[in-house]
Amino acid sequence: MSYMMYRETTLGKALTETLNEFVEENLISRSLAAKTLAIFDKNINKALAYKVKNKISSHMMIGKRQA
């Protein structure tokens, strides 16, 4: 999955560490940890794509006002 690159961010690493601790302490199962990371991968990609899209739109609107 190409979204997995976000796991190397500070947020992704913190989530992975926390989930691993929960698994080691038998607070959650490995499958739940894996599902949680998959949801993180999917949603971080959506959130960043949305932010970039909004930033591009706002820059385009500002550019039109200056013309």
Q: Work out how many domains the chain is built from and give that number.
A: 1
Q: Using one digit for the tens of pLDDT, what is the confidence trace for 37-50?
A: 999 999 998 888 76
DSSP conformation class of 14:
H
Indicate the Cα dihedral angle 35, 38, 42, 44, nearest 10°.
100
pTM confidence score: 0.67
- CATH value at residue 24: 1.10.287
Q: Can you spell out the DSSP letters for 20-67?
A: HHHHHTTSS-HHHHHHHHHHHHHHHHHHHHHHHHHHHHHHHHHHHHH-
61 against 21, higher pLDDT: 21
Range of the domain at 13: 2-66
Q: Which residue has the tokens 């961010």?
A: 9
